[in-house]
Structure 1
Amino acid sequence: MTDAGYEPSTLLVIGVDGGQTKTVTALATAEGDILASAVTGPCNHIHEPGGLERQYRTLRAGYEQVFANAGLPMRRLASVHLGLSGSGDRPTVERVYDTERLNLTSDPIIALSGAIPEMEGVIVIAGTGSAAFGRNAAGDEVITGGQGYYAGDEGGGSFIAQAAFRAIYQAADGRAPQTVMTERFLRHYGVDNLRALRNRIYGDLTRDQLAKAATLVGQAAAEGDGVAVSILRHAGHELGRLVVATLERLHWGDAPAPISPIGGVFRSGALVLEPMMETTHERFPQAYLQEARFEPVIGALLLALRALGRPIDEALLARLEATRHRIMYS
């Protein structure tokens, strides 16, 4: 699992992407060669009873497993960087790792580091919810959105699903155009009428299960359903407003502004991206789309390497690219 040229004296670093459903730990050399990864459980909700101990066990398991997967004995690390969803408890995290340097941040920071290794630009995250995170050349950082499905999440999966459910029931009332989404939603949720669907919406379906309806909206829009297209364009414009607000709060000016989209909503492609950039260009015409270069756990590795003073140059990025196949997600 390790390179033939690996030497025991090589400095090692760890990057951690701690999420709401799983935690990914990656081990790499200071030269940028990824050696192995490990997947463990979630490490958020530390304020619940037993939450701190669960976070410790999850992170410790990833720490031990990543060395085992690399076929190496555990030893002191040169640097560790963690990006955790929600929050992390530093004293708990310090118990996990034997390391010279430890940095604990939030998940948007490692997502930006992975998507835009230069760490100057904006990432737009649109999964179940939505948020934007940006950083300028001066190192100022801003998070916009991310207020949850009651107070925000405009343009995210929950927002799209809610708009679709409303459109279906308005069409049934004769208040809005008919849409192929009606039949698709009934079939997807295993019911044969809208009353039964409503019972499921307010009954046994979780928020994440409801948000998955955004995929059905994308499929209907791709086949030309006008109502679905309108919903996705509205979502795109809302995501563009997140971008504009983030750039304005960063006092971006006239410099080129890379925008990197992340999350399942963007699987709908131009149906969301075009309106997002239309709204963005009204205020920042120099903004441009940049595909995320790496996943967040590699962003955490890059930040661990930065802490060592390692230049983030193309040679390093190429070595990460060549060994990224060693990152597992299940």
Structure 2
Amino acid sequence: MNNYGESNGDSNVHEKQVEGHDHCENGDGSDNRVILGIDGGTTSTVCVCIPLFSSSKSLPNPPPILGRAVSGCSNHNSVGVTVHVSYPTETAARDTLEEVMAEALSKSGSDWSAVHAVCLGVSGVNHPTDQERILNWLREIFPSHVKLYVQNDAVAALASGTMGKLHGCVLIAGTGCISYGFAEDGREARASGAGPVLGDWGSGYGIAAKALTAVIRAHDGRGPQTMLTNKILKALSLSSPDELIGWTYADPSWARIAALVPEVVSCAEACDQVATKILVNAVQDLALSVKAVVQRLHLCGEDGNGSFPVVMVGGVLEANRTWDIGKEVMKCIQEQFPGAHPIRQQVEPAVGAALLAWNFLMKESTENSHS
């Protein structure tokens, strides 16, 4: 098995226990088995290790984190652009996942043999074939008794606001964007999340790309003059819009472009019409993606006024500026669906993934006891 990107002849590499970690029962009757929750996005991958709580106990809020680790991008659709460029894309993504799990386990004082369940919320999981590919990676790492769950990272983000319950809608707007929802009967739907080429224009990348385009159009006479020109050039230490072309294509990674969003917001706050129009359009795009999911799942009820949560996740939606994109998005959603109520993350998405795994385990245990 390819372990941490290198050939490893030791087939028992995951059997070795961390010194001093004893897998015996605790005084409360539970053992030292653990759950791994992973949030793998286009910018970073986070893994947390939490205890496997007994089904007879309610989950503490927040659950204790035994170990936490952070690594690079694990989206197999984008990782090859910026990470391990000499590797095949899937190899880079797999190595990232293995490394971050190993580090979280090590920090928790545990090891691979203690793992009872793993839930990965990974961006780029857009089709059952994506899920199966990642499950195959995990099956090579873990023995057959370990429960394995693979979801889009939006599902973990939803769980981070609902503490593991899959009901309602999540809107993620960071480097990329996606809206994902679950009805109480288990039906699910998504909108956006197809990447920048296919038009995730409400995302950080989309906002910044439109701002860069506006600067170039203003420079060559195809568009109105805008404060964005000086603001972006100063932020990038460039002297002319002509230099933007080289800067952009030298490294067109999504996160690098998306990092310019604060400059767009600053210009909008200063009443620049071009920047304001970019943000207004982003608000409409983000709200539309949520509305599409709500309508397909009938989250609003038959009368259109039913209550449901909208978990707001991502730097674009953070309420720390006068021009509050998240607030404007919710206002737009509530005009059509007054029962929508925004909630912020209660825990980080990696913990949400771990809570999902625990809830899946409890559901399976209940179903087995009734069969």
Q: Residue 324 of structure 2 aligns with which residue?
A: 271
How many residues align? The count is 307
Q: Residue 95 of structure 1 aligns with which residue?
A: 140
Q: Residue 158 of structure 2 aligns with which residue?
A: 112
For residue 283 of structure 1, the aligned residue among 322, 336, 339 is 336
Aligned amino acid, residue 204 of structure 1: A
2:280 aligned with 1:241, yes or no?
no
Aligned amino acid, residue 310 of structure 2: I
Q: CA deviation at 1:174?
A: 6.3
Q: CA deviation at 1:53?
A: 4.9
CA deviation map 1:117-157 (0-9, x unaligned): 23211111112222101111111111101122222102112
* Residue pair 2:43, 2:175 contacting (<8 A) in 1 also: no
SS at match of 2:115: coil
Distance in 1 between the 2:210 and 2:112 partners?
Answer: 51
Distance in 2 between the 1:19 and 1:211 partners?
Answer: 14
Q: Let me know the Cα RMSD of the aligned residues.
A: 3.0
Distance in 2 between the 1:194 and 1:241 partners?
Answer: 33
CA deviation map 1:274-307 (0-9, x unaligned): 4322331232121121112121100111012113
Aligned residues: percent identity? Answer: 29
Q: TM-score, normalised by structure 2?
A: 0.73
Distance in 1 between the 2:331 and 2:122 partners?
Answer: 32
2:296 aligned with 1:296, yes or no?
no
Aligned amino acid, residue 150 of structure 1: V
Residues 269-278 or 236-245, more deviating:
269-278
SS at match of 1:139: coil
Q: CA deviation at 1:240?
A: 0.6
Q: CA deviation at 1:94?
A: 1.4
Q: Residue 33 of structure 1 aligns with which residue?
A: 64
Q: Alpha carbons of 1:249 and 1:61: their partners in 2 closer, same or farther (altered >3 Å)?
A: same
Q: Alpha carbons of 1:181 and 1:22: their partners in 2 closer, same or farther (altered >3 Å)?
A: closer
- Unaligned 5+ segments in structure 1 are 312-330
Distance in 2 between the 1:295 and 1:75 partners?
Answer: 25
For residue 34 of structure 2, the aligned residue among 5, 12, 19 is 12
Q: CA deviation at 1:77?
A: 2.7
Distance in 2 between the 1:53 and 1:186 partners?
Answer: 37
Q: CA deviation at 1:233?
A: 1.9
Q: Where does 1:129-144 land on structure 2 (aligned, <5 Å)?
A: 129-144=176-191
Q: Alpha carbons of 1:103 and 1:224: their partners in 2 closer, same or farther (altered >3 Å)?
A: same
Q: Alpha carbons of 1:167 and 1:294: their partners in 2 closer, same or farther (altered >3 Å)?
A: same
* Residue pair 1:76, 1:100 contacting (<8 A) in 2 also: no
Q: Residue 234 of structure 2 aligns with which residue?
A: 187
Q: Residue 367 of structure 2 aligns with which residue?
A: none
CA deviation map 1:47-88 (0-9, x unaligned): 986555555544333343323212235533332222223234
Q: Residue 6 of structure 2 aligns with which residue?
A: none
Q: Alpha carbons of 1:207 and 1:249: their partners in 2 closer, same or farther (altered >3 Å)?
A: same
- Unaligned 5+ segments in structure 2 are 1-20, 54-62, 81-86, 125-129, 365-371
* Residue pair 2:47, 2:100 contacting (<8 A) in 1 also: yes
CA deviation map 1:26-52 (0-9, x unaligned): 111133432112234443428986555
Q: CA deviation at 1:248?
A: 0.6
Q: Residue 103 of structure 2 aligns with which residue?
A: 65
Aligned amino acid, residue 115 of structure 1: G
For residue 43 of structure 1, the aligned residue among 70, 74, 80 is 74
Q: Alpha carbons of 1:19 and 1:257: their partners in 2 closer, same or farther (altered >3 Å)?
A: same
* Residue pair 1:236, 1:274 contacting (<8 A) in 2 also: no
Distance in 2 between the 1:51 and 1:158 partners?
Answer: 21
Distance in 2 between the 1:54 and 1:168 partners?
Answer: 35
* Residue pair 2:48, 2:67 contacting (<8 A) in 1 also: yes
Q: CA deviation at 1:168?
A: 3.0
* Residue pair 2:135, 2:148 contacting (<8 A) in 1 also: no
Residues 164-173 or 257-266, more deviating:
164-173
Distance in 1 between the 2:100 and 2:220 partners?
Answer: 53
Q: TM-score, normalised by structure 1?
A: 0.81
Distance in 1 between the 2:68 and 2:363 partners?
Answer: 21
